[in-house]
Structure 1
Amino acid sequence: MLPPILQNLRIPVVGSPMFIVSNPDLVIAQCKAGIVGSFPALNAREKDGEPIMLEAWLTRITEELDRHNQANPDQPAAPFAVNQIVHRSNARLERDIEICHRYKVPIWITSLGARKEVNDAAHDCGGISLHDIINNKFARKAIEKGANGLIAVAAGAGGHAGPQSPFALIQEIREWFDGPLLLSGAIATGDAVLAAQAMGADLAYIGSPFIATTEANAQPEYKQMIVESGAMDIVTSSLFTGVSGNYLAPSIRNAGLDPEALERADASSMDFGQGASKPKAWSTIWGCGQGIGAVSEVLPAAELVDRLANEYAAARQRLAL
């Protein structure tokens, strides 16, 4: 059974946290539209001596959602989530945990390592923790370390995607875990949201379609490239961060590289000490998942959620659910 905080969403969807792209504008729009909005804590960056940006972001998000809820008691906003990169090179992790604990962040998403102290901090302030994994081995470790739920990042997902079929990954996890389970990987329609539930997930985890929204912090060229691209335009490579991820082939070509002849890199090249792993590479080579064939135009996030909700309802009716 889902914890109360994940119940009563307009549709069973969490907007995934995307490096650089996810910002307060997008998170607030997603939550007001009825799905969980999220952002990586490392997206909130400030220069030395400046006020802490993560605090400013959390203040704005919590206050604006509170105003919305007071004005719309019958249609309150969905809760929001903050993603913590739990990697040894993330020098900000301890500070960001303290800030999120102080602001009582309701949903904590952890990536690149399962840490008990992060889960404990989430629970201590009344929140829940969800850990993203790419295989059953990592799933078991995450639950052993105290995560409340899992995000199965399957083949076709944007960013640091796993290699396994969603069918294989979900069925192996469900053999032993009956808690909250989200699925990520090429989900871009309401039909796919329902399909994720049919195979055993509780909620869909959707990222790439939200890059092509007006609120997203992405270059216009990035958004347009998503509109014009499809699954065949996605390339999997470890070169840019040291971990296998999916990227738009046209952006790789624009950077002067051959998408079909990319070198390999290993995880030792990852460095989140300054808030990002190889930020220059990420700013010119754009991550994306395989589901973007369903994206035909740049829309406000609320309109994208409307489309997903209508498709989801139609799929349920078509299957008489």
Structure 2
Amino acid sequence: MLKSKTLPKALQGLRLPAVAAPLFIVSGPDLVIAQCKAGIVGSFPALNAREKDGEPIMLEIWLKQITEELDRYNQANPDTPAAPFAVNQIVHRSNGRLERDLEICARWKVPIWITSLGARVEVNEAAHSCGGITLHDIINNTFAKKAIQKGADGLIAVAAGAGGHAGQQSPFALIREIREWFDGPLLLSGSISTGEALLAARTLGADLGYVGSAFIATEEANAQVEYKQMLVESGAEDIVTSSLFTGVSGNYLAPSISRAGLDPANLPSADPSSMNFSSGSSKAKAWKEIWGAGQGIGAIKSIVPAGKVVDQIEQEYRDAKQRICSDLA
């Protein structure tokens, strides 16, 4: 169990020092609930919860489902309660839902808010108004400092090898630079798919690992079977970095690019100005056809329940600690 006097309460008492990353389209209530019951923070992007005009607000429905199910679980399991959950807000000027979604999350007292693509004071204030904390994802030290200056409680360092909108810096360099001035909550994202990688993240100076791609190939994930199977069959060499699909550099499965009729080795670039979240995502059609993943997918061997992924990472984490301690004794 993770214990720390320096971490916010929401990040203490976890079974493992890990937060499940919010996965576009893939993360929904079933996956979040399974992750939290397994003892790590589960999360989903607010923009995943969509409804058509005139329909009930899906974000409200999801938050009610997650909150009530975790409450039931905790009442039945007082000695091993579920971990808290997180909601990811895309803080980009084109996200017309942001103000509405902030109000909904504050009303439901979401405990952990993950912010992306922009650091804004009012978003952090909304989280703090209901007792929540904010973790802002960044790709370099400059963005990290801006996020803390604007009131973020913690940082998610998105290093090379991460899925989706990945950074380009080595985790060795990025974590060290941030730790020179910041002693608050710090997570590391980038190929954290095994217990060994999680232990390495802690050794570098991160408080927790940010686990993403490993949860795509799970039974609870809202992903096509073909997507999950492609992860099982692929490795780090099958990951391609491109800005074409959203306007921001990201990592994607080369076989999915080929299947869409494009050449993974010859992709044009796109300008960041092409990003548009006004309809819930940036170039949603492309995102559905081109599947994101990080370089840690070589650890994915089969499609399993999310709880089994946590079990495996925990066993690997304990074995790695024991091995290192034996080697250093």
The two structures have a TM-score, normalised by structure 2, of 0.97
Map 1:95-244; keep pairs closer than 5 Å: 95-244=100-249
Q: SS of the residue aligned with 2:309?
A: helix
Amino acid at match of 2:52: K
**Which residue in 2 is equivalent to 1:8?**
13
Aligned residues: 321
The runs of 5 or more residues in structure 2 that have no matched partner are 1-5
Which stretches of structure 1, 4 residues or longer, exceed 4 Å deviation after superposition? none
**Which residue in 1 is equivalent to 2:315?**
310
- 1:158-217 per-position Cα deviation (integer Å, ceiling 9, x unaligned): 000000000000000000000000000011101110100000000000100100000000
CA distance in 1, matches of 2:293, 2:10: 28
Equivalent of residue 34 in structure 2, options 29, 34, 59: 29
**Which residue in 2 is equivalent to 1:288?**
293
Amino acid at match of 1:207: G
- Residue 317 of structure 1, CA deviation: 1.2
- Residue 41 of structure 1, CA deviation: 0.2
Q: SS of the residue aligned with 2:89?
A: strand
Map 1:9-88; keep pairs closer than 5 Å: 9-88=14-93
- Residue 270 of structure 1, CA deviation: 0.3
Does residue 305 of structure 2 align to residue 300 of structure 1?
A: yes
**Root-mean-square deviation over aligned CA pairs:** 0.6
Amino acid at match of 2:166: A
CA distance in 1, matches of 2:45, 2:110: 13
Q: SS of the residue aligned with 1:319?
A: helix
Amino acid at match of 1:259: P
CA distance in 1, matches of 2:193, 2:213: 8
CA distance in 1, matches of 2:199, 2:301: 21
The two structures have a TM-score, normalised by structure 1, of 0.99
Does residue 306 of structure 2 align to residue 319 of structure 1?
A: no
CA distance in 1, matches of 2:96, 2:10: 30
Of residues 1-10 and 16-25 in structure 1, the stretch that sits farther from structure 2 once superposed is 1-10
**Which residue in 2 is equivalent to 1:256?**
261
Amino acid at match of 1:180: P
Amino acid at match of 2:189: S
Amino acid at match of 1:70: Q
Q: SS of the residue aligned with 1:84?
A: strand
- Residue 320 of structure 1, CA deviation: 2.1
Identity of aligned pairs, percent?
A: 76
The runs of 5 or more residues in structure 1 that have no matched partner are none
CA distance in 2, matches of 1:179, 1:79: 19
Amino acid at match of 2:213: S
